[in-house]
Chains A and B, each alone.
Chain A
Amino acid sequence: MSELTIEIDVLRYRPEMDNEPFTQTFEVPYTAEMSILEALQYIKDHLDSTVSFRWSCRMAICGSCGLMVNSVPKLGCKAFLRDYYPQKISLEPLANFPIERDLVVVMDDFIKKLEEIKPYIIPEKEKCLSEGTYQQTPEQMAKFKQFSMCINCGLCYAACPQYALDNKFTGPAALALLARYNRDSRDNGEAERMKIVNQEEGVWGCTFVGYCSVVCPKDVDPAAAIQLLKVESSKDYLIGMFKPD
């Protein structure tokens, strides 16, 4: 049996050697169940050990291995060679992020944005552990659950042209996380977070391209979160107009 192979283009960038990225082509044995991540591991183990990329869980939950597969943001562990074979595959680091090296991008700005939106329960008053858990019905939980499923992989930022044009925009994942806490019945921090939402860089930086929700590997639907926040922000604005300050 002759071994099937597939060609993979990897965008390389080694900051200590290169001034700009270049493409390196590898020929990798093909099997139908092989993921892009496994192909990269094959490359690192057997073809060129200097290719750098992030990965860990292999099961689409840790959010490490985001990259562009044929210009579409994907998780390497959840994209499979079979969906491209026998065509050549092109792999590039996540768009809209600076390239640290090879397929590794600089995530600092993304992480900073997650940090800034106050992603924690701000209770009305401190609840004692002896009082037990909050009551929260499945209905109340359903209001925010979807927006709590984000794995912080950054695919939505790579899909967002608004973030590409102006990276001051808070962006899809952070705003979805903000919505997650605002919509949680245990939380009372909405007023604080609406200040972030109402800013120019908040929800109004979004022009509803909607591609973020298409590429999201966890169906978080950040575009929906942002539109819902826009409604809240508009309400805030209207109420503000009639409220003497």
Chain B
Amino acid sequence: MQIIKTDVAIVGAGGSGLRAAIEIAENHPDLDIALISKVYPMRSHTVAAEGGAAGVAQDHDSLDNHFNDTVSGGDWLCEQDVVQYFVENAAKQLTQLEHWGCPWSRKEDGSINVRAFGGMKIERTWFAADKSGFHILHTLFQTSLQHPKITRFDEHFCLDLIVENDKIQGILILDIAEGEAKLIQAKSVIMATGGAGRVYSYNTNGGIVTGDGMSLAYRHGVPLRDMEFIQYHPTGLPGSGILMTEGCRGEGGILLNKDGYRYLQDYGLGPEVPVGQTKNKYMELGPRDKLSQCFWQEQQKGNVIKGPRGDVVHLDLRHLGEEKINERLPFIRELAKAYVGVDPVHEPIPVRPTVHYTMGGIETDAKTATKLAGLYAIGECASVGLHGANRLGSNSLTELAVFGQLAGQQAADYARNSKHEKITPLRKQAETIMARTEALLHSEGTEKMADIRQEMGDCMEEGVGIYRTKESMQQTINKLAELKKRYKNIQITDKSSVFNTEFLYAIELGYLLDTAQAMAHSAILREESRGSHQRIDGFEKRDDNNFLKHSLAFYQGDKAPKIDYSSVTITKSQPAERAYGAAGEKAHAQEKV
């Protein structure tokens, strides 16, 4: 087995992984960095983010505003010290991306332009038309190429973490093309593997978003925090789930039910703002969790449109005009034309909520360190405590930059203060992992992978969707237990070594099932409604007395995960009623009195 010694290993080369790698390369030229990705870095799912990245940019805005929007958007489940650090560093890190070449959209005078986004009081979303994630990712990837100390392992799949003497000492990766394992011995490891949206059937996520890092850390005893909070993006295309950015609404797009009525005004987001105008935190610029819930309510009332690919509402951009759509939302036009045959210049786009983001993830402290010494986690796979119970759109792209930078610093410091330890026990561990992996490959199971995957996605939609009941969640839990059992008997036809994708999908399905379990079990025990976790079985209200706390899911092997809780750091924003539209304004006015 090939053994590669490095100082810091980074698993995942999306926005946060690349940002961390560059941070180390720029400031610690003596450190070796191994950057591992199961795909070429520019395929990472950061690429699909559209709307933009939040950072205070206007004189009439303030860090406090961004802080308050984020904390109330997260229904007070955010770590407030983390949010404070985040808002203070947001604009700085977005500026750094600009220096590296990110083509942020500009005003006529050449300064940065910002757009409105849901749940944000003042426009502060930096955007690169409607391909913000794409440009951020490519900018970071290209910038990373000037650093010879970053050794990339493209198309290498992470099989496991190597933990010895209670600290992480490396990872075992599989060279996908060769079909051979490599042991990366590292002093510190950063997990940057992205979310787990693929546990649901309908999602905006790429096929690679399978919760790998979450599961790997989880299996090694690191808790997954706040996993019950799954964001449904209110505007995905029916069938495929392809994302129609919140930027559509930021630019003035409106949502209509089957009667052409702007139904959001019936759910505490009004009064209606005239078409062609936008008002921050009103109507279509409410937060994602609320908007997705409104869709479900309308569906119950029979006010949605029945389409060939299921129930939809209409996202109408026509009043923006062709020129503005081409300038600000060209990708949206391209996607709508290709995938639903609708030109948004002339017709409204059919949309429905689809799973988009996992707010929870690997528990870290405010400086991205996990409970396992030497292991850091960033980006969607991590729960640094920024998003609470619901993420505000455009906070996550900034998160990649802010916490990617911080993790780079932290992991480098850790690596500088530690030494490589003896390789023998690590190699032994690696061999055990390989034996286990080979056994899976050569198992003669009979359970069809596609069935397990489909049933998992469907039961998650059913039980841990936009609205939840104990009964539906219990059914999901039972189903997942059954699927985990069936997974042990999974059929893998392809026994070959070179680019065996069937085998990789099988391993990924294992990661997905563990993540799904953590989500469902965390959800059923949270007997309240908060942010994206909404219950309709007697727990419709938020319960700060009992549940103003993070859930922590601990892996228990074949048994159900153990759920524990930890406290929430509150610095300056005491939990209050979370309201938008006129009600929000009123509540805010009262607070000030």
Contacts and interface: CB of A to CB of B under 8 A. Distances in A.
Contacts of A62: 39, 42-45, 47-48, 206
Interface in B33-63: 39-40, 42-45, 47-48
A184 interface: yes
B494 A50 contact: yes
A49 B206 contact: no
Interface string A48-68: 011011111111111110000
Nearest to A150: B138
A59 B96 CA distance: 28
A78 B339 CA distance: 8
B498 A101 contact: yes
A129 B177 contact: no
A203 to B, nearest CB: 20
Interface in A175-226: 177, 181, 184, 186-187
A27 interface: no
Max chain A CB contacts within 10 Å: which of B104, B105, B242? B242
Contacts of B271: none
Interface stretch (A112-120, A228-236, A237-245): A112-120
Contacts of A52: 499-502
Contact of A133 (B95, B146, B208, B338): B95
Interface stretch (B1-9, B109-117, B181-189, B257-265): B109-117
A129 B500 CA distance: 45
A117 to B, nearest CB: 9
Nearest to B145: A115
A104 B504 CA distance: 15
Interface in B360-412: none
Instruction: Determine the interface band of chain A, counting residues with CB < 8 A from chain B.
Output: 35 or more
Contact of A138 (B106, B339, B501): B106
B298 interface: no
A57 B204 CA distance: 8
Contact of B95 (A100, A104, A129, A184): A129
A129 B105 CA distance: 19
A137 B145 contact: no
B110 A136 contact: yes
B103 interface: yes
Interface in A146-176: 148-152
Nearest to A187: B101
A206 to B, nearest CB: 22
Nearest to B338: A78
Given A119-B145, A133-B98, A100 B496 contact: no
B131 interface: yes
A187 B139 CA distance: 13
A49 B493 contact: yes
Contact of A135 (B99, B111, B498, B499): B111
B244 to A, nearest CB: 10
A114 B92 CA distance: 28
A55 B430 CA distance: 29
A45 to B, nearest CB: 4
Contacts of B242: 58-59
Contact of B101 (A104, A121, A129): A121
A57 B40 contact: no
A23 interface: no
A60 B449 CA distance: 26
Interface string A62-104: 1110000000000000100000000000000000000011101
B207 interface: yes
A50 B501 CA distance: 8
Interface in B450-485: 450
B326 interface: no
Contacts of A141: 103, 106
B135 interface: yes
Interface residues of B, number: 62
Contact of A57 (B45, B109, B492): B45
Contacts of A133: 95, 98-99, 104, 111-112
B496 A17 contact: yes
A187 B131 CA distance: 22
Given A46-B450, A120-B142, A133-B99, A59 B498 contact: no
A137 B240 contact: no
Contacts of A114: 142, 145
A32 to B, nearest CB: 9
Nearest to A107: B40
A53 B109 CA distance: 46
A114 B143 CA distance: 12
A120 B43 contact: no
Nearest to A181: B101
A4 interface: no
Given A120-B145, A135-B109, A151 B498 contact: no
Given A61-B134, A107-B40, A129-B92, A16 B498 contact: yes
A46 B72 CA distance: 46
Given A138-B106, A148-B103, A148-B138, A104 B239 contact: no
B100 interface: yes
A103 to B, nearest CB: 10
B39 A186 contact: no
A137 B39 contact: no
A132 B96 CA distance: 9
A59 B339 contact: yes
Contacts of B109: 135, 137
Q: Which 5 A-B pairs have the closest CB atoms?
A: A135-B110, A45-B450, A56-B206, A119-B142, A50-B494
10 contacts: A16-B496, A17-B496, A50-B502, A57-B43, A58-B206, A59-B48, A59-B242, A64-B39, A141-B103, A141-B106
Given A50-B493, A148-B135, 14 more contacts: A15-B498, A33-B341, A45-B449, A49-B493, A49-B494, A52-B500, A52-B501, A56-B208, A58-B206, A119-B145, A135-B109, A148-B103, A151-B47, A181-B101
Interface of B: 39-40, 42-45, 47-48, 92, 95-96, 98-101, 103-112, 131, 134-135, 138, 142-143, 145-146, 154, 177, 206-208, 239-240, 242-243, 309, 331, 334-335, 338-341, 449-450, 492-494, 496-502
